[in-house]
Amino acid sequence: MTAGWVRFLALRLGAALLTMAGAILLLFVLTQFVPGDLITIMLGPRVTPELREAFAERMGLDKSLLERMWLFFSHAAVGDFGTDVISSRPIREIVLEVLPKTLQLAFAAMLIGGGLGLLLGCVAALRPGSRLDTFLGFASVAFITTPSFVVAIFLLLTFSLGLGWFPVTGAGDPNDLGDRLAHLVLPASALAIGWIGYIARLVRASLLEVLSEQHIRMMRAYGVPERRIVGRYALKLAVVPIVVVVGLGMGELIGHAVFVEIIFARPGIGSLIYNSIMTRNYPVAQAGLLLIVFVYVTANFAVDIVNSLIDPRIARSLDLRGNS
Amino acid sequence: MGRFRTILTDIWRVRSGRTGLVLVVLILAFALLGPLLSADPNKINVADRFLGPSLTHLLGTDNLGRDLFARTAVGTRSALVISLAVVSASLFLGSILGVAAGLLGGLGDRLMLVVFDVVSAYPPVILALGIVALYGTGYWNLLFVVTILFIPQFGRVARAQTLALRSQSFIDAERLLGLPPYRLIWRHFIPNIIGPLIILASMNIPVVITVEAGLSFLGLGVQPPAASLGTLIKDGYIYLNQSWWPTIGSAVTLSLATLGSTLFGEALRDAADPKLAGRIRL
């Protein structure tokens, strides 16, 4: 808890808040240039003038640009997105309701990706240059490059429609844990495939780097068994970069969840945004987008903190780098 | 030319580079020659719908009886054209912004970084989804949106390179000798920073292909009846219970295209910059 660390913390927090504020502004600016009249879009072409006026007032459309910007900003900053025109429910409620489903999906994918990636990476690093290593390296690239929606379709085809091992669509009965897990397996795997490959490569590379260091060679010279070297000592160091990748990947993971949620007809923030964009229900889409950005910025911030705790040099080097 | 050949030889020497190069050449040949060798990709013949692969229809036919070989070839061509266009545009714009930020320093530099951060704070697919949905679907909108998504990456690299270069003494010397700024940028900055940017560009091609296919899959990219790998997969997905062939042909082509260009891009990076070889960069 040095002063330098506190300063680092404050700077990172400031950067996170600034990014969040910028994201809100960007969203506001984007919606200002939507072609067509917003009221006609939302209420249909045959709306009466009275309804128009009432709606404009409710949405704050009768105010000046700056006022609207401030209104949007101040409301978005505290998570108030008004009421959904279609279902008359608070938008915040709608968005927060589906968020856990997407987070479960993302965490399950991380678990699968991290677990299998770690395993495959270690296997490859233990015999560098072997046929197995070459094969795993190739498989990892193939995993990374196959788009998640292609994987999702083929998993659905094979394991749900073909073999009938897993349920086809939905998120399962909310009161039945087993059913929910069964509904989670395929979507999470589809989302995880790329990460398995990515983490496997990362683990392999960082494990090989650690294994070539002096203190590990020293241990070998003393006759410590290889398995023990890797399991007890090397892996601990090699795992550090994974924390970073997993944290930074959160946003991308949630982004790709859109495809998986649509293909498996699974409720979640991605499919919510997609559906509200398709029905031109912009306020709900905005709220969903901002929530995702919020999750992403928070995850990045958390990664920075965890990193600086693992490796104090990061906080100290901030001044030297002068930027993020 | 000599350097180009050395790099190509280096790529060929590594097995994954060789695989990538072969795949890239195959995909390129398919995209360029496929449409010439096959039937009209938009010709509808409902009587022949959902045919399996045969000599007349190498990849079968779709729900309207259109030849899938022709459609996949056209889709591959548009994927390649879009990815090259997007990568060049974001390389160009990102470099300008990045070099400007690096040379300006101070507040302008900070501001540029914040803008880059804000754009990258949105998950790419989600931001593209939002912009395309707001401003309408269409070919140019798609190009525009995906270009914006990729600018920050190029901008950051160009800025970092510029900063590293700016403090070197030969730049100071040229400046003292009175070289005008635009000449300085053109003669010294661009040639010295372009290498890593081109490598980044080649590594981004498969990413752009994936993003484009994804947006088209969601119905927000290339619009029917034009064929794109994404729309082909989507059409196949809708009629999955009738036939698997439409999905398989396009999905395999898409996967091979991204796999090939990734392997090639990585081999190119390792060949062009041996310092980075074997390391995985985020």
Which residue in the block uniquely carries the two structure tokens 């979507």? A187
Indicate the Cα dihedral angle B105, B106, B112, B117, nearest 10°.
Answer: 110
| Contact flag A296-B121 (C-beta cutoff 8 Å) | yes
Q: Burial level of B101, CB count in 10 A (0-12/13-18/19+)?
A: buried
Name the pLDDT band for B55 (thresholds 50, 70, 90): low
**Set of chain B residues whose Cβ sits within 8 Å of the Cβ of A15:** 117
pLDDT of residue A324: 36
- Closest CA relative to residue A322, chosen from B159, B182, B49: B159
Q: In angstroms, how far is the first alpha carbon of chain A from the final one?
A: 21
Q: Is the pLDDT of residue A187 over 80?
A: yes
pLDDT of residue A318: 47
Query: Does B14 lie at the interface with A, CB-CB under 8 angstroms?
Result: no
Query: Using CA atoms, how far apart are residues B144 and B138, in angstroms rounded to an integer?
Result: 10
Query: Does A263 lie at the interface with B, CB-CB under 8 angstroms?
Result: yes
- Residue A277 has its nearest CB partner, among B129, B263, B282, at B129
Which residue in the block uniquely carries the two structure tokens 């892996």? A235
Q: Is the pLDDT of residue B282 over 50?
A: no
Q: Is the pLDDT of residue A154 over 70?
A: yes
Chain B interface, mutation test: which of A26, A32, A149, most B Cβ atoms within 10 Å?
Answer: A149
**Helices A3-32 and A65-77, packing angle to 10 deg:** 130
Q: Give the C-alpha distances (Å, rounded to integers) separating B126 from A310, B35, B105, B131, B224.
A: 32, 33, 31, 9, 22
pLDDT in tens, A121-139: 888 888 887 888 888 888 8
Instruction: Give the residue, B55 or A200, on which the prediction is more confident.
Output: A200
Q: Which residue of B has its CA nearest to A139?
A: B259
- Closest CA relative to residue B205, chosen from B125, B95, B87, B76: B87
| Contact flag B134-A282 (C-beta cutoff 8 Å) | yes
Q: Give the C-alpha distances (Å, rounded to integers) separating A291 from A139, B122, B216.
A: 34, 10, 25
What global pTM score does this model have? 0.81
| B249, two tokens | 């042909």
Instruction: Give the residue, A177 or A293, on which the prediction is more confident.
Output: A293
pLDDT of residue A122: 85
| Contact flag B133-A252 (C-beta cutoff 8 Å) | no
| Contact flag A30-B206 (C-beta cutoff 8 Å) | no
Query: Does B123 lie at the interface with A, CB-CB under 8 angstroms?
Result: yes
Query: Using CA atoms, how far apart are residues A104 and A257, in angstroms rounded to an integer?
Result: 11
| Contact flag A22-B115 (C-beta cutoff 8 Å) | yes
Name the pLDDT band for B74 (thresholds 50, 70, 90): confident
Query: Does A24 lie at the interface with B, CB-CB under 8 angstroms?
Result: no
Which range has highest mean pLDDT (A235-239, A254-258, B62-66)? Answer: A254-258
* A-contacting residues in B 173-212 (Cβ below 8 Å): 206, 210
> Is omega for the bond preceding B124 within 30 degrees of 0, making it cis?
no
Query: Does B134 lie at the interface with A, CB-CB under 8 angstroms?
Result: yes
Percentage above 70 pLDDT, chain B: 90
| A318, two tokens | 């901030």
pLDDT in tens, B5-28: 777 788 788 888 888 888 999 988
| Contact flag A144-B280 (C-beta cutoff 8 Å) | no
Q: Which residue of B has its CA nearest to A142?
A: B259
| Contact flag B133-A245 (C-beta cutoff 8 Å) | no
Amino acid at A90: P
- Residue B280 has its nearest CB partner, among A15, A33, A205, at A205
Mean pLDDT of chain A: 78
pLDDT of residue B92: 92
**Set of chain A residues whose Cβ sits within 8 Å of the Cβ of B114:** 18-19, 22
**Set of chain B residues whose Cβ sits within 8 Å of the Cβ of A153:** 233, 237, 240, 247, 251
Query: Using CA atoms, how far apart are residues A240 and A246, in angstroms rounded to an integer?
Result: 10
Query: Does A283 lie at the interface with B, CB-CB under 8 angstroms?
Result: no
Q: Is the pLDDT of residue A76 over 70?
A: yes
Distant-in-sequence, close-in-space partners of A317: CB < 8 Å, separation ≥ 6: none
Q: What is the mean pLDDT of residues A22-49?
A: 72
* B-contacting residues in A 172-231 (Cβ below 8 Å): 201-202, 205
- Residue A142 has its nearest CB partner, among B210, B213, B259, at B259
| Contact flag B131-A30 (C-beta cutoff 8 Å) | yes
Query: Using CA atoms, how far apart are residues A209 and A212, in angstroms rounded to an integer?
Result: 5
Burial B16-27 (b: 16+ CB within 10 A, else e): bbebbbebbeeb
Q: Which residue of B has its CA nearest to A274?
A: B129
- Closest CA relative to residue A200, chosen from A130, A129, A259, A142: A142
Burial B180-203 (b: 16+ CB within 10 A, else e): eeeeebeebbeebbeebbebbbbb
Q: Is the pLDDT of residue A173 over 60?
A: yes
- Residue A141 has its nearest CB partner, among B114, B131, B259, at B259
| B57, two tokens | 């229809």
Burial A44-73 (b: 16+ CB within 10 A, else e): eeeeeeeeeeebeeebeeeeeeeebbeebe
Percentage above 90 pLDDT, chain A: 0
* B-contacting residues in A 35-64 (Cβ below 8 Å): 35
pLDDT of residue B91: 93
Which residue in the block uniquely carries the two structure tokens 């905005």? A286
Q: Is the pLDDT of residue B51 over 90?
A: no
Name the pLDDT band for B195 (thresholds 50, 70, 90): confident
| Contact flag B217-A35 (C-beta cutoff 8 Å) | no
| Contact flag A141-B214 (C-beta cutoff 8 Å) | no
Closest approach of A104 to chain B, Cα-based (Å): 18
Query: Does A149 lie at the interface with B, CB-CB under 8 angstroms?
Result: yes
Query: Does A168 lie at the interface with B, CB-CB under 8 angstroms?
Result: no
Percentage above 70 pLDDT, chain A: 84
Q: Is the pLDDT of residue A168 over 80?
A: no
pLDDT of residue A237: 72
Closest approach of B92 to chain A, Cα-based (Å): 23
Closest approach of A109 to chain B, Cα-based (Å): 17
Q: Which residue of B has its CA nearest to A151?
A: B251
Q: Give the C-alpha distances (Å, rounded to integers) separating A106 from A187, A253, B37.
A: 10, 6, 44
pLDDT of residue B65: 67
Q: Which residue of B has its CA nearest to A19?
A: B118
pLDDT in tens, A269-291: 888 888 888 887 778 888 888 88
| A143, two tokens | 């995993």
Report whether B132 contacts A30 (CB < 8 A). no
Mean pLDDT of chain B: 81
- Residue B123 has its nearest CB partner, among A27, A251, A262, at A251
**Set of chain A residues whose Cβ sits within 8 Å of the Cβ of B218:** 258-259, 262, 274
Instruction: Give the residue, A239 or B217, on which the prediction is more confident.
Output: B217
**Set of chain B residues whose Cβ sits within 8 Å of the Cβ of A268:** none
Closest approach of A37 to chain B, Cα-based (Å): 12
| Contact flag A19-B240 (C-beta cutoff 8 Å) | no
- Closest CA relative to residue A252, chosen from B211, B159, B193: B211
Query: Does B122 lie at the interface with A, CB-CB under 8 angstroms?
Result: yes
pLDDT of residue A172: 67
pLDDT of residue A322: 38
